[in-house]
Structure 1
Amino acid sequence: MSSVSKSLMGVVCLVTGASRGIGKGIALQLGEAGATVYITGRKATKTDENQKSPLEETAMEVEKRGGTCFPVVCDHKDDFQVDALFEKIKKEQNGRLDVLVNCAFSAFKYINDNMGKPFWELDPSESWDEVNRVALRNYYRCSSLAARLMVPRKTGLIVNISSAGGMFYFHNVPYGVGKEGCDRMAADCSVELKPHNVAFVSIWPCPVMTESVKETLDSTEQSFLRDKILEITTQDRYESQEFTGMGIARLASDPKAISVTGKVLLSIDLAKKYGYKDRNGKMPLDYRSISDLMSAKHPYVAKVIPGFVRVPKWMFAMPGNKF
């Protein structure tokens, strides 16, 4: 079974940026585990007046999985809309919020359109805000508002969806700084939240085949992103949109979740810890696995390296060490 059977009944969750991509997959998995899930999207755009918007479609799928879902149109660039979102949850759920997943991200197209341009050739305010206003800045605001609901109840889980881009240069400067900030936010916030039994972690998904990635493959003939995506997808080792959600659903139901607070968790490590595979019955690319790392350029060598041989976490973190 892809999720923990109804282990989150009565649990109130918020997933930002859940109309598509990883956010949608997380919402579906939380719903499948029986949770009440609030989801946000920038707009309720409909391709046809007789059709549901992507946000509404996600809500319907969550409920088909067995959860209760409340779709909320929210532009996470707008502080007033974000504040209103948390007030809505507070009012409707009697001050209860158990899980926050910060997943909203709106810079995929901007990054691809400006790939290869050095930071000084881009408008500094525009490049920073396009990449980090909905991500890093909004993650912090949402986490602060969520903590106000969790701390009095002495329970809660906050998750930042981040990436290995915070460990070494990737895409552009604002992206790397933002991802490093997401990871450090989890580490520092956890110091103040742990005495109140509220856990805060940062999760790095494996390479994911989202709608945005598919659109890039379909519409871009030559780009850095396309080359990197194809390097992975030709191996058929990308994770589904729901794989990270499987881990979050299990972590949210784990009474010992506080033991990993402040840490960066890899989605593949969550799968190994809780003993599950992706929806297709396979394991995605493990970028701590020596065999997987070598499989693209040295497939014959990779075949003779046991799968359990993995890069230690302390060594995996060394590229990010500036001393």
Structure 2
Amino acid sequence: MPDTLHGHVALVTGATRGAGRGMAVELGAAGATVYVTGRTTRATRSDIGRPETIEDTADLVTRAGGTGIAVRCDHTDPTDVRALADRISTEQDGRLDILVDDTWGGDHLIEWKPIWEHDLDNGLRAVRNALETHLVTLHTVLPLLIHRKQGLVCEITDGDGMFDNRYRGTMFYDLVKSAITRIGRTLHHEVHPHGITAVALTPGFLRSEDMLDRFGVTEDNWRDGITKDRFFAISETPHYIGRAVVALATDPDHARWSGQALSAGQLAAHYGFTDLDGSRPDATRFITDAYYGDKPDADAADYR
């Protein structure tokens, strides 16, 4: 979808790596100006300690065909977020079309233990990094969209309706991801009267930079990771959810989705886009059947 978002302005929070980077790059490939935020820059690293930077993401956005603008922002700090919103307003004459709310920063804080065994400081920091940041961003940035009476807000989470009545293994992680899904659904009631579409959106089994490292593979040989976890066979690149965001943003009737919890696989089936390899992985359907359902021997290839 080249140049379909030319002239549009997007903000992708938490865009240093992973889904955030993939969404920013695909918005750039569609021609958008994309502000990318995070805490890791070429000068300083966040406590996560990974090497990817927001400047690298901005460069990738520009190389893809858009305009990437890197802004170091700690989304737990309302002053930082206020400065970000003011900068976008000043530089873009008050225009913001797309808000992708993707802050997370909790992987290194989550322990797969019962709440009474989980380190309390780490758990509360995860809630602050991954949930409070979404609320601060919405409170501060939404007025830019409200002023224009149009736009798209994507609350990026982990899991669509598949997890509505299922536990995710540890309390703090379950709380954060369930709450963000809930925000994406209920925000509809506040913003829809102002012409804005709000959704919760999830990738499937994401092959982020961190996940590739954990499996000891690269994007070129990622299938070798299936020997460690057969569910890796349904995994997808960060570009897949990026194409889901572009599909929503370029749909003149995207309001039909407002208030729903959606997945990249679901939107791929509807809009017809694919992952980089030309497949359309549907992780929700595969995991529901093969892990939770009555098809333990299901072949991931049948869900791509």
TM interval, shorter chain, is: 0.7 to 0.9
Secondary structure of the structure 2 residue equivalent to 1:159? strand
Check whether the contact 2:282–2:303 (CA below 8 A) recurs between aligned residues: no
- Residue 222 of structure 2 corresponds to which residue in structure 1? none
The alpha-carbon deviation at position 6 of structure 1 amounts to: 0.9
- Residue 61 of structure 1 corresponds to which residue in structure 2? 60
- Residue 15 of structure 1 corresponds to which residue in structure 2? 12
Aligned partner letter, 2:124? W
- Residue 315 of structure 1 corresponds to which residue in structure 2? none
- Residue 29 of structure 1 corresponds to which residue in structure 2? 26
Greater mean alpha carbon deviation, residues 117-126 or residues 192-201 = 117-126
- Residue 279 of structure 1 corresponds to which residue in structure 2? 276
The alpha-carbon deviation at position 296 of structure 1 amounts to: 8.4
Length-normalised TM-score, structure 2: 0.85
The alpha-carbon deviation at position 26 of structure 1 amounts to: 0.3
- Residue 258 of structure 1 corresponds to which residue in structure 2? 255
- Residue 152 of structure 2 corresponds to which residue in structure 1? 157
Length-normalised TM-score, structure 1: 0.81
Aligned partner letter, 2:131? L
- Residue 102 of structure 1 corresponds to which residue in structure 2? 101
Q: Does 1:211 align with 2:206?
A: no
**Structure label with greater radius of gyration:** 1
Compared CA separation, residues 208 and 229, structure 1 to 2 (3 A):
farther
Secondary structure of the structure 2 residue equivalent to 1:279? coil
- Residue 238 of structure 1 corresponds to which residue in structure 2? 235
The alpha-carbon deviation at position 53 of structure 1 amounts to: 6.3
Compared CA separation, residues 289 and 209, structure 1 to 2 (3 A):
closer
| 5+ residue gaps, structure 1 | 220-225, 309-323
Query: 1:189 aligned to 170, 187, 190, which one?
Result: 187
- Residue 70 of structure 1 corresponds to which residue in structure 2? 69
CA distance in 1 between counterparts of 2:84 and 2:147 reads: 19
1:260-295 residue CA offsets vs partner (Å, 9 max, x unmatched):
111101110110111121111112243225896379
The alpha-carbon deviation at position 172 of structure 1 amounts to: 1.5
Secondary structure of the structure 1 residue equivalent to 2:230? helix
Check whether the contact 1:46–1:54 (CA below 8 A) recurs between aligned residues: no
Aligned partner letter, 2:170? N
Compared CA separation, residues 120 and 53, structure 1 to 2 (3 A):
closer
Q: Does 1:38 align with 2:35?
A: yes
Query: 2:167 aligned to 163, 166, 169, which one?
Result: 169
- Residue 318 of structure 1 corresponds to which residue in structure 2? none
CA distance in 1 between counterparts of 2:228 and 2:128 reads: 25
The number of aligned residues is 286
Compared CA separation, residues 307 and 21, structure 1 to 2 (3 A):
closer
The alpha-carbon deviation at position 205 of structure 1 amounts to: 0.9
Identity within the alignment, %: 33
- Residue 48 of structure 2 corresponds to which residue in structure 1? none
Aligned partner letter, 1:127? G
Secondary structure of the structure 1 residue equivalent to 2:42? coil
| 5+ residue gaps, structure 2 | 45-50, 218-224
CA distance in 2 between counterparts of 1:185 and 1:122 reads: 25
Q: CA-atom RMSD, angstroms?
A: 2.8
- Residue 143 of structure 1 corresponds to which residue in structure 2? 138
- Residue 127 of structure 1 corresponds to which residue in structure 2? 123
Compared CA separation, residues 227 and 289, structure 1 to 2 (3 A):
closer
Check whether the contact 1:286–1:292 (CA below 8 A) recurs between aligned residues: no
The alpha-carbon deviation at position 307 of structure 1 amounts to: 6.2
